[in-house]
């Protein structure tokens, strides 16, 4: 599947938002709520986009004005109209012209008190020199200055002492915004094959030209992709979107949405296992008055008053891919590669969860995984293990222990897995699901479910049995389109069965 090309493409996507220099204010021709399109935008077909990326709904930019907010993913826009609190979904307007990049790292710009500052983070020496980089530095150029103020962020020795990695990765993720009469900047780097960085917050004071650094212990190993300031006027908080990454996996869950108080140094993390957050990887933030908007790869949340600790202050919407069914229904299979139909699924429409190919080759036909309300059951060899058995340090945002459904999370009724919870595994065998057969280039890929909701029936050290609420349909039978739907809260939800 041309995994090397795919990996470079995804690394470009991962960094693209942080290389956008345009402000997140809308253009003058977008000052009123856009009219709804004649039809919902189609899911991007394989001929237009890498097949692994067709369900990439990560929010990469947010435009805002007095009439609406426009959340831009790679191929689709999700537009919230303030007047009637309604949503419109349309084809994407995100400028992806610089997703693949190279050469010298350009300065970005930020406005503070009517003046423009330039900033960037680089390695010293740069990796193009052929020498091992020894430190990461931040450069800030004040207005009318010709030379940057240079501050050392961390060194290779610092990285190794913190036991985060063995070499410095390029500090690709650099964000800046006004913080009173100062600038707040965040700098972090991706992780993989021993290369990484130390997540750092920097405060630049134009009056003294001084730059002070904060490297909170809890987030040092995270990738901070965006920052915002929101909440009460007396004590606004700094908000961070976090994730992690690894070899072949540019998007892996991290601490989620993080709040940080510069005065008390208090940190709080909100993720899918302890909050209403709708996706495992938040990517973009927008302060809107006292409210905070959070875009993820699975949906969008509004946190009223920035009070994330109160679940009733959250309102979330999830991305949904739908398809209308023809009269007479469609043939449904209980596994991706099943040759015998399980039943005929009859309904007016169906929700599409994923798409997987039926062969390990380019342009292979595939099947869509769709919601099936009655579900199927499957038994899997292998069950409950501790994270330490796999040499992994357990994190607060992990499942309590490792099991075949560890990438699913409890949402009050069943275990769920969002679009952004499917790790791409680009240099391995691709995304992993429940009941997946081992890779064999001479046979068809096969899996029971990739994203279907789960009921846990049996879990021991050697066996897992689940009921999964999905099935598989030949892709030629469906024409999926993209929508956004409200998330309904569950009254008196039962407890998590694995807690």
Per-residue pLDDT tens over the stretch 25-36: 444 444 688 888
pLDDT reported for residue 50: 53
- Rounded CA gap, 371 and 354, in Å? 10
pLDDT reported for residue 262: 87
pLDDT reported for residue 103: 56
- Rounded CA gap, 51 and 366, in Å? 10
DSSP string covering 254-298: EEEEEEE-TTT--EEEE-TTTS--S-SSEEEEEEETTEEEEEESS
- Nearest CA-CA partner of 314 in 360, 362, 256, 369: 256
Q: What is the CA radius of gyration of the chain?
A: 23
Give the C-alpha distances (Å, rounded to integers) separating 330 from 169, 186, 337, 370, 482.
49, 50, 16, 11, 20
Enumerate the β-bridge partners of residue 243: 223, 253
Enumerate the β-bridge partners of residue 402: 385
- Nearest CA-CA partner of 145 in 171, 107, 89: 107
- Rounded CA gap, 294 and 303, in Å? 8
- Rounded CA gap, 14 and 10, in Å? 6
The mean pLDDT values, 10 residues at a time, for the chain of 499 residues are 36 43 44 85 68 82 95 95 95 76 78 97 91 97 96 98 96 95 96 95 96 96 96 82 92 96 93 96 96 97 95 96 94 97 96 93 90 97 94 94 96 95 81 88 89 97 97 96 94 89
Q: Is 79 exposed, middle or buried (0-12, 13-18, 19+ CB in 10 A)?
A: buried
Q: What is the DSSP letter of 459?
A: E
Domain boundaries, the chain: 105-309, 321-486
Enumerate the β-bridge partners of residue 302: 293, 315
pLDDT reported for residue 475: 95
Q: What is the DSSP letter of 342?
A: -
- Nearest CA-CA partner of 296 in 310, 308, 285, 307: 285
3-state secondary structure (DSSP) of residue 14: helix
Q: Which residue has the tokens 């069965």?
A: 497
pLDDT reported for residue 369: 98
- Name the token pair of 199: 């997540």
Give the C-alpha distances (Å, rounded to integers) separating 430 from 101, 160, 424.
25, 31, 6
Q: What is the pLDDT of residues 268-293, one digit of tens each?
A: 999 999 999 999 999 999 999 999 99
Q: What is the DSSP letter of 33?
A: P
């Amino acid at each position: 599947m041309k995994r090397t090309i795919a990996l470079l493409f995804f690394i470009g996507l991962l960094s693209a938002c942080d290389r956008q220099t345009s402000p997140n204010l809308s253009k003058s021709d977008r000052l009123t709520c856009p009219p709804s399109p004649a039809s919902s935008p189609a899911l991007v077909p394989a001929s237009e986009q890498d097949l692994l990326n067709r369900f990439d709904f990560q929010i990469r930019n947010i435009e805002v004005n007095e009439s609406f907010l426009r959340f831009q993913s790679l191929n689709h826009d999700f537009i919230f109209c303030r007047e009637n609190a309604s949503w419109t979904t349309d084809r994407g307007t995100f400028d992806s012209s610089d997703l693949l990049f190279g050469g010298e790292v350009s300065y970005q710009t930020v406005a503070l008190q009517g003046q423009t500052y330039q900033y960037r983070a680089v390695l010293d020496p740069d990796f193009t020199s052929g020498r091992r980089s020894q430190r990461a530095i931040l450069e800030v150029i004040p207005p009318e200055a010709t030379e940057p103020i240079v501050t050392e962020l961390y060194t290779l020795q610092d990285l190794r002492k913190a036991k985060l990695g063995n070499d410095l990765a390029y500090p690709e993720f650099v964000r800046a915004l006004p913080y009173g009469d100062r600038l707040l900047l965040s700098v972090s780097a991706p992780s993989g094959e021993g290369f990484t960085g130390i997540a750092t917050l920097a405060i630049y004071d134009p009056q003294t030209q001084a730059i002070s650094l904060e490297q909170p212990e809890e987030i040092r190993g995270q990738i901070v992709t965006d920052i915002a300031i929101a909440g009460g006027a007396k004590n606004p908080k700094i908000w961070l979107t976090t994730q992690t990454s690894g070899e072949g996996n540019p998007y892996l869950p991290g601490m989620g949405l993080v709040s940080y108080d510069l005065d008390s140094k208090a940190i709080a993390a909100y993720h899918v296992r302890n909050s209403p957050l709708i996706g495992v990887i938040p990517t973009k933030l927008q302060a809107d008055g006292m409210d905070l908007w959070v875009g993820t790869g699975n949906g969008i949340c509004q946190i009223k008053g920035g009070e994330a600790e109160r679940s009733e202050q959250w309102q979330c919407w999830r991305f949904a891919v739908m398809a209308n069914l023809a009269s007479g229904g469609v043939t449904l299979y209980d596994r991706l590669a099943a040759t015998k139909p399980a039943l005929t699924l009859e309904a007016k429409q169906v929700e599409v969860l994923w798409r997987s190919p039926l062969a390990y080759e380019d342009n292979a036909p595939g099947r869509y995984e769709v919601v099936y309300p009655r579900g199927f059951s499957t038994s899997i060899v292998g069950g409950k293990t501790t994270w330490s058995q796999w040499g992994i340090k357990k994190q607060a945002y992990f499942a309590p222990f490792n099991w075949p459904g560890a990438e699913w999370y409890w949402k009050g009724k069943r275990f769920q897995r969002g679009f952004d919870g499917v790790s791409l595994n680009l240099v391995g065998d691709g995304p992993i699901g429940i009941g997946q057969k081992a890779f064999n280039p001479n046979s068809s890929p096969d899996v029971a479910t990739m994203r279907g909701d789960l009921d846990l029936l049996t879990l021991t050290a050697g066996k897992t049995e689940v009921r999964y609420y999905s099935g598989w349909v030949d892709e030629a039978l469906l024409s999926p389109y993209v929508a956004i739907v409200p998330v309904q809260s569950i009254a008196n939800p039962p407890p998590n069965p694995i807690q």
